[in-house]
Structure 1
Amino acid sequence: MTHDDPVDPLMPELACYGLAGHSASPADLVVEAARAEELGLGSILLSERFALKDAAVMAGAAVAATSRIGVGTAATNHNTRHPLVTATMATTLHRMSGGRYAFGLGRGIPLLFDIMGLPHVTSAQLEDAVGIYRTLWHGGSVVGHDGPAGSYPYLVQDSSFDEDIPVLLMAMGDNSLRLAGRIADGVVLHTFMSDTAVARSVRLVRDAAERAGRDPAQVRIWSVMATIEDSLDETARLRKLVGRLATYLTGYGDVLVRVNGWDPAGLERFRADERLSAHSGALDATDDLDLLRHARDVLPDEWLACAAVGSAEHCADRIEGQLALGADSVVLHGATPDELAPVLAAWRSRRDPRRFDHLPPNPGRLHLRKDPQS
């Protein structure tokens, strides 16, 4: 695309993930971010994995490769970096992007933290850490701090700072959802959540915001929907569907089953399956079609139905369905921008841009809704 080519307006209600899943080629993000912007996605979100997906490096690359699209870390963890280092990451990205960046935190995986020798993340730690960041971003200093996020004699960035950096929280369980409603600018739900779970999560966030004296409509809620369009080959479709769900169930299956109200017997059957338990590595990275087909047969259809699978028009229908559940925006998860292109075209052909005027590209922000009578 040249500078003279027409530019499609952004669709701020939609986002994708950069380097979705596993990647051995982090440089691909530069192309993906530019392509996401070209196709009109409103935001690109970035998950962190401790191999080739460092949150700060990826966010810097995505910001540099784009000029309009929002960029968000979704997510990093507060306990893997010193708070001054994390705050500096966010202020750097905020200024570098011209305000397009949103800083996202999550709880992470307890088993991984056990292996790393780090404490498990708690709500109290998250709330304390966010308070530290916001103090630093607004030019304050943290003196003699001794709280859930740690003990710090003196932290300061720059007394002239007054950086309005939105905070995203990744949330799945009730405590995380309520915390997001109390303190976050935006919340990103989890992939493979049923419609009932999404609607309930939206209510929990907004109720918690209201009880905290906040405007519940000003917390931006993202649903996250695995999106697998028909033009992909069978191996890719199954890797993004059953492989991804199996990977989540391996990491924190009990939580996902509880949130969705699924029958725990399905998780027990998955864990007891000899072929799946013998597989080393994440199932969403395998090219073993026979194993993926086997996983599809083991996993309940109801669980797999949480994803958008099928034609571009059907996937566009599912986007509308997520918005109808109360989400402000939808992350089309597990696919590259090019893989999402047919879905984006189908959605653009039916959307009313005025419906989303209150959504800026920054994934952690909301404009005040305009009074339709004014």
Structure 2
Amino acid sequence: MAPTGIQVGMCFDRTFPAPLVTEFAVRLEEGGADQLWVIEDCFFTAGISLAAAALTATRRLTVGIGILPAVSRTAAVTAMEIATLCQLAPGRVLPGIGHGVQAWMAQMGVRPSSPLTALDEVMTAVGRLLDGETVTVDGDYVQLDNVALHTPPTQRPPLLAGVQSPRSLALAGRCADGVVLIEPCSPSYVRSALAQAGNPEPFHVAAFGMIRIMEDRRDAYRSIAPWLASQLQLPNAALRALPFFDDLVARHARDGVDGLASMPVDWWTEIGPIGTLDDAARHLDALEAAGVHSVGFYPAADVATARTQVDDVLRLAAR
């Protein structure tokens, strides 16, 4: 199968030891993958420093950041960090900014009373600074007085919004250059999210998913079914967008994890790159047809297993 336009990459799990980021980045680049996505979740490893390490260890690989909480840094510092990454690796940075988990923001004493307003102000200010503007603004969450970056990017990266709710997606369509869509990102979820964002163009869509490829697809299903069961305890927007979501919930309630493992093949293919390599390739093709430009696939949280799954990502990138 000939390569297509979608950019294929892997996520660096938030629990992985930070020094391994260069190992994964180099393996992905040397094997022909397009991207590595580093994850910033409180209170694990930090996105900017992981991205810097991965970018300086490679020469071609694009590094995405999913995602920087809008209020954990000031807008000026966020713009400085992104601009610095762009100096290190022009054209190879995909920064994502989002609300952040509000409980974590509260733990740090920075929880905004209006996450929507905070994200709007931060995305707008960071974008203007990266464009080389001198910015003065007195907002609810962003205050800048005659601020300009000394060295704005020569290649301004798209600012992606890591959001889920309809109001946040609508905001992303107005103030962001694209979105980062949470796992398990299905083609159905992509179409729904783009519609809620107002179908803006151009608009860079990055999608996250769980990868599990085995020679026997049933082995893959049995392996990943416990993860899916855990997600059903508190379903996110991506799960709720599945066209068979109600049937999925009923199946799990009736038959438990075994019921998920025996779901129809087309359900699993909609959910993620799960099953055989051909099943995973069909999922990737469907994502691209739905409008996805970049994908970051989560490996198992076990480092040893994740190392073997790099080869699966490379096979998909070369499909």
TM-score range, shorter chain: 0.7 to 0.9
2:106 alignment partner AA: D
- From 204, 207, 210, the equivalent of 1:223 is 207
User: Larger deviation: 82-91 or 173-182?
Assistant: 173-182
Is 1:345 matched up with 2:315? yes
Q: Go from structure 1 to structure 2 and tell me whether the alpha carbon gap of 1:149 and 1:18 turns closer, same or farther (over 3 Å shift).
A: same
- From 91, 96, 105, the equivalent of 1:104 is 96
> 1:60 corresponds to which residue?
52
Q: CA deviation at 1:77?
A: 0.8
How far apart are the structure 1 equivalents of 2:182 and 2:24?
22
Contact kept in structure 2, 1:47 and 1:73, CA below 8 Å = yes
How far apart are the structure 2 equivalents of 1:98 and 1:54?
21
Q: Go from structure 1 to structure 2 and tell me whether the alpha carbon gap of 1:39 and 1:241 turns closer, same or farther (over 3 Å shift).
A: farther
> 2:288 corresponds to which residue?
323
> 1:129 corresponds to which residue?
122
1:149-189: CA deviations, max 9, x gaps?
A: 3334453332x646423211123222232222222222221
Contact kept in structure 2, 1:36 and 1:337, CA below 8 Å = no
- From 235, 254, 259, the equivalent of 1:253 is 235
1:173-222: CA deviations, max 9, x gaps?
A: 222322222222222212124443222223333x342xxxxxx2x21222
How far apart are the structure 2 equivalents of 1:327 and 1:307?
13
> 1:363 corresponds to which residue?
none
- From 44, 48, 52, the equivalent of 2:40 is 48
> 2:65 corresponds to which residue?
73
Q: Go from structure 1 to structure 2 and tell me whether the alpha carbon gap of 1:10 and 1:300 turns closer, same or farther (over 3 Å shift).
A: closer
Contact kept in structure 2, 1:225 and 1:332, CA below 8 Å = yes
How far apart are the structure 1 equivalents of 2:248 and 2:271?
18
How far apart are the structure 2 equivalents of 1:300 and 1:111?
36
Q: How many aligned residue pairs are there? A: 306
How far apart are the structure 1 equivalents of 2:14 and 2:226?
13
Q: CA deviation at 1:31?
A: 0.4
> 1:334 corresponds to which residue?
299
Q: Go from structure 1 to structure 2 and tell me whether the alpha carbon gap of 1:149 and 1:195 turns closer, same or farther (over 3 Å shift).
A: same
Contact kept in structure 1, 2:158 and 2:178, CA below 8 Å = yes
Contact kept in structure 2, 1:11 and 1:42, CA below 8 Å = no
> 2:303 corresponds to which residue?
none
Q: TM-score, normalised by structure 2?
A: 0.79
> 2:227 corresponds to which residue?
243
How far apart are the structure 2 equivalents of 1:18 and 1:194?
17
Structure 1's unaligned 5+ residue stretches are 1-8, 210-215, 271-292, 350-374
Aligned identity (percent) is 21
1:26 alignment partner AA: A
Q: Go from structure 1 to structure 2 and tell me whether the alpha carbon gap of 1:330 and 1:134 turns closer, same or farther (over 3 Å shift).
A: closer
Q: CA deviation at 1:300?
A: 9.9
